[in-house]
């Protein structure tokens, strides 16, 4: 029978199953294909920290959420319109997050007593009323995949692993997505294994044509391309954008890129990505621990490289002493901190913003560094360039903050024209005449002299330096002078960064501020409230130390300021202590990003209180 096609403006989809069911791969392929179809997209991968969580349990559930639209979007969606649940555990974990009336496609072959027990269902949720109010579609995914691959020559376990491609094919049919991009990907990914190529293609096509032939679906859906600015686009994850931005910065500064890193979730994929770019002169060094990684990075900076180290919160703690060495030696290093839930090992695969105070104060002595933050996956590219510009111009460590939500999320990225990226060519000191290692220019920046340059030999290390000469010096007055000088150099960066920008209603009394990955949820919430005739504005901080010069002026214009953060109020604390301005700190510490609806509700409560007052 011919199926009708219904046009939708936006859809939020979540794929969920065991961590071995390939949900991240499935979600990524659906995202990439949606981007190729011209939709704006935003994604939220969500997977367990355990490498081998027990199969069939709620601990092992892996999910991937995708929001795609025919217009500009900023978040991966508050609640899914459709859930693909590969087993009962994935249904149980995700059920409460669905929209009322959402569609649930279940792999009926996994809904048996054994799997009910593993995830502590006392009865079959398909039969006991648990799913009343939802549109449930029971599909024998495992059985249909096995039938499609019966002549593939694969072992039963390999056949079972292909069911994610069947599910993907079905979803491609349901939302009118092309399957050719994924077929091309399969052929490239498994080019050395023709059996796997044939099997995955067969499963994908079987899922697609099942949708066309079954009576389970009477309608399929279509989301038209988004009207985005003209250009060449690709889907990109935050860590990938960050890595490519560092490569671009290397080219634009004329410096070889060095990455000293120790693998840690969720920063490890930056190392993986940069290791692919040796043709640009990138050197990646996987150290034996975090301390070796950062000290190797300091050595690379001393030797004239664009030197970067990447980590997460626990690793940043281990790097603290060496970052202080970078401050003392006044060397341009970039320390990337992809934040995750803490403390200690905490929530390795979940997002949080709880390292801001560590970035600001987490070193011995007075050791200020520049702190900047990315707000979206694509923004990571631009912030990488900015981190390199500031570090090399001011000879100062730059702490570059992202978080797990930004790092693993993806969105369409308009590939920039390299000619539009400003030149940042670095000039090393080569003239030995009147050379002093700690002389200063107008920015208080000391000269960058490469080891081995005749006549430019100088002392390096963590002991206090004498002003101008750089000799070891313990005099009290010199120490105070140097401490204040290093702090002043960081503060001077405020003269070289943009003003804090306010968006939203210009006549608003309420300002919602934020930093990092809260940008999308804040933007949607502010836009939604303004569209309903209320007045609210927003401002988002890229520069956290120093703050933009107009920060106090902007904040004091508003009667009420709300600051949502995925911590216990760290940016609020910094602003209150610096400017003595009252802030309504709205916090969440659940390992999950804010939903725009949560922030919209907060704004409505504040508006209601102001009106009643």
pLDDT, one tens digit per residue, over 158-179 is 999 999 999 999 999 999 999 9
Number of neighbouring beta carbons within 10 Å of residue 459? 14
Mean per-residue pLDDT over the chain, rounded: 96
Residue 228 pLDDT: 87
The C-alpha atoms of residue 400 and residue 127 are separated, in whole angstroms, by: 51
Predicted confidence band of residue 56 (pLDDT cuts 50, 70, 90):
very high
d(CA 239, CA 67): 19
Which has the closest alpha carbon to 11: 48, 37, 50? 37
Question: Do residues 20 and 63 touch, judged by C-beta distance below 8 A?
Answer: no
C-alpha triplet 118, 122, 125: angle, nearest 5°: 95
Closest CA to 482 of 538, 452, 440, 518: 440
Range 389-396 average pLDDT = 98
For 536-554, the pLDDT digits (tens) are 999 999 999 999 999 999 9
Specify whether the CB–CB gap between 162 and 21 falls below 8 A: no
Residue that is written with structure tokens 């000799």 in the block? 471
What is the spatial distance between Cα 597 and Cα 101, in angstroms, rounded to a whole number? Answer: 18
The token duo for 166 is 């069947």
DSSP letters, 399-428, are: EEEEEHHHHH-EEEEEPPPGGGSPP-----
Structure confidence by residue, pLDDT tens digits, 462-489: 999 999 999 999 999 999 999 999 999 9
Provide the percentage of residues in the chain whose pLDDT is more than 90. 96
Instruction: Tell me the DSSP string of 309-351.
Output: EEE-HHHHHHHHHHHHHHHHHT--EEEEEEE-B-STT-BTTS-
Cα(580)–Cα(141) distance, rounded to whole angstroms? 60
Q: What is the SS3 assignment for 516? A: helix
pLDDT at 612 over 70: no
Helix or strand (DSSP H, E) at 182:
helix 180-189
pLDDT above 90: residue 50? no
**pLDDT tens-digit readout, 274-327:** 999 999 999 999 999 999 999 999 999 999 999 999 999 999 999 999 999 999
Pairing of strands 40-46, 4-8: unpaired
Q: Which residues are CB-neighbours of 300 under 8 A, at least 6 positions away?
A: 258, 260, 283, 307
For 1, the token pair is 């029978």
Round to whole Å and give the CA distance between 552 and 16: 45
Local structure of 440: helix, strand or coil:
coil
Query: In Å, how far from its chain's centre is CA 454?
Result: 44
> Which fold is adopted by the domain 234-420?
Rossmann fold (3.40.50)
pLDDT digits (tens, 9 = 90+) for 319-374: 999 999 999 999 999 999 999 999 999 999 999 999 999 999 999 999 999 999 99
Q: Say if residue 556 is preceded by a cis peptide, omega within 30 of 0.
A: no
Distance CA 571, CA 518 (A): 12
The helix/strand/coil state of 457 is coil
Angle at 532 between CA 527 and CA 533, to 5 degrees: 100
Q: What's the pLDDT tens digit per position in 77-114?
A: 999 999 999 999 999 999 999 999 999 999 999 999 99
**CA 565-571-573 angle, 5° bins:** 120
Question: Do the two domains 4-223 and 234-420 of this chain adopt the same fold?
Answer: no
Contacts 24+ apart (CB under 8 A), 434-437: 436/468, 436/469, 436/470, 437/469, 437/470
Q: For residues 14 and 94, give the distance between their C-alpha atoms in angstroms, rounded to a whole number.
A: 9
CB 553 within 8 A of CB 515: no
Residue 137 has pLDDT above 60, yes or no: yes
Angle of helix 290-302 relative to helix 313-329, nearest 10 degrees? 30
pLDDT band of residue 52 (cuts 50, 70, 90) is confident
Query: Which residues lie below 8 Å from residue 199, measured CB to CB, with a gap of 6+?
Result: 149, 152, 154, 158, 159, 162
Cα–Cα distance measured from residue 107 to residue 246, given in angstroms and rounded to the nearest whole number: 43
Helix (H) / strand (E) containing 590: none
Q: In this predicted structure, what is the pLDDT of residue 610?
A: 78
What DSSP string describes 199-257? Answer: HHHHHHHHHHHHHHH-SS-SEEEEEPPP-PPSS-EEEEEHHHHHHHHHHHHHHHHT--E
Closest of 242, 166, 190 to residue 413, by C-alpha? 242
For 586, phi and psi rounded to 5 degrees? -110, 110
> Out of 2.60.40.3080, 3.80.10.10, 3.40.920.10, 3.10.310.30, which CATH number does the structure's domain 4-223 have?
3.40.920.10
In 3D space, the residue among 302, 259, 301 whose CA is nearest the CA of residue 282 turns out to be 259
Reduced to 3 states (helix: H, G, I; strand: E, B; else coil), residue 612 is helix
**Phi, psi of 335, deg, nearest 5:** -110, 110
Q: Where along the chain do its domains lie? A: 4-223, 234-420, 502-612
Check whether domain 502-612 has CATH 3.30.360.10, yes or no: no
| Dihedral (CA of 121, 123, 124, 127) sign | negative
pLDDT at 57 over 80: yes
Upstream peptide bond of 546 is cis (omega within 30 degrees of 0)? yes
CA pair distance 247, 250, nearest whole angstrom: 5
Nearest CA to 324 out of 364, 296, 384 is that of 364
């Amino acid at each position: 029978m011919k199926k009708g096609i219904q046009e939708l403006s936006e859809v939020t989809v979540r794929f969920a199953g065991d961590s071995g069911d390939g949900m991240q791969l499935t979600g990524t392929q659906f995202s990439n294909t949606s981007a190729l179809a011209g939709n704006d997209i935003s994604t939220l991968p969500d997977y367990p920290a355990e490498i081998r969580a027990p199969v069939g349990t709620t601990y092992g559930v892996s999910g991937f959420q995708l929001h795609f639209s025919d217009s500009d979007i900023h978040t991966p969606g508050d609640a899914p319109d459709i859930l693909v649940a590969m087993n009962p555990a994935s249904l149980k974990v995700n059920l409460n997050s669905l929209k009322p009336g959402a569609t649930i496609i279940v792999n009926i072959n996994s809904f048996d007593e054994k799997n009910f027990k593993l995830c502590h269902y006392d009865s079959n949720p398909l039969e006991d009323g648990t799913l009343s109010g939802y549109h449930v579609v029971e599909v024998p995914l495992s059985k249909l995949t096995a039938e499609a691959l019966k002549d593939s020559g694969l072992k039963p376990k390999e056949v079972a692993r292909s069911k994610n491609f069947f599910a993907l094919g079905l979803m491609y049919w349901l939302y009118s997505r092309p399957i050719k991009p994924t077929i091309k990907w399969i052929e490239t990914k498994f080019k050395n294994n023709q059996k796997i190529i044939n099997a995955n293609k067969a499963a994908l096509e079987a899922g697609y044509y099942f949708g066309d032939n079954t009576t389970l679906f009477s309608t399929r859906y279509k989301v038209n391309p988004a009207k985005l600015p003209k250009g060449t686009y690709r889907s990109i994850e935050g860590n990938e954008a960050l890595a490519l931005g560092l490569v671009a910065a290397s080219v634009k500064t004329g410096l070889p890129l060095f990455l000293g890193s120790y693998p840690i979730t969720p920063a490890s994929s930056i190392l993986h990505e940069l290791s692919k770019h040796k043709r640009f002169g990138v050197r990646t060094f996987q150290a034996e621990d975090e301390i070796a990684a950062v000290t190797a990075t300091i050595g690379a900076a001393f030797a004239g490289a664009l030197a970067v180290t990447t980590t997460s919160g626990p690793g940043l703690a281990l790097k603290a002493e060496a970052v202080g060495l970078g401050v003392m030696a006044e060397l341009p290093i970039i320390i990337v901190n992809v934040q995750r839930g803490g403390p200690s090992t905490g929530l390795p695969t979940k997002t949080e913003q709880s390292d801001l105070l560590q970035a600001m104060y987490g070193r011995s002595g007075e050791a200020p560094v520049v702190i900047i933050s990315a707000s979206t996956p694509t923004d990571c590219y631009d912030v990488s360039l900015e981190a390199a510009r500031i570090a090399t111009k001011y000879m100062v460590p730059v702490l570059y903050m992202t978080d797990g939500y930004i790092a693993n999320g993806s969105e369409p990225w308009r590939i920039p024209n390299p000619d539009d990226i400003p030149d940042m060519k670095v000039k090393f000191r080569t003239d030995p005449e009147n050379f002093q290692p700690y002389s200063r220019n107008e920015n208080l920046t000391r000269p960058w002299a490469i080891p081995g340059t005749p006549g430019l030999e100088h002392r390096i290390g963590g002991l206090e330096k004498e002003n101008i000469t750089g000799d070891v010096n313990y005099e009290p007055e010199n120490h105070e002078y140097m401490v204040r000088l290093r702090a002043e150099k960081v503060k001077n960066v405020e003269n070289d960064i943009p003003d804090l920008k306010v968006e939203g209603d210009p006549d608003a009394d309420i300002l919602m501020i934020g930093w990092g990955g809260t940008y999308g949820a804040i933007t949607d919430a502010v836009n939604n409230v303004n569209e309903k005739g209320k007045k609210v504005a927003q401002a988002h901080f890229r520069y956290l130390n120093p703050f933009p010069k107009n920060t106090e002026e902007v904040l004091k214009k508003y009667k009420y300021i709300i600051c949502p953060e995925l911590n216990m109020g760290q940016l609020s604390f910094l602003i209150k202590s610096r400017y003595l301005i009252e802030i309504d700190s709205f916090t969440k510490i659940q390992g999950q990003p804010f939903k725009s609806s949560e922030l919209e509700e907060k704004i409505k409560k504040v508006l209601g209180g102001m009106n009643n007052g």
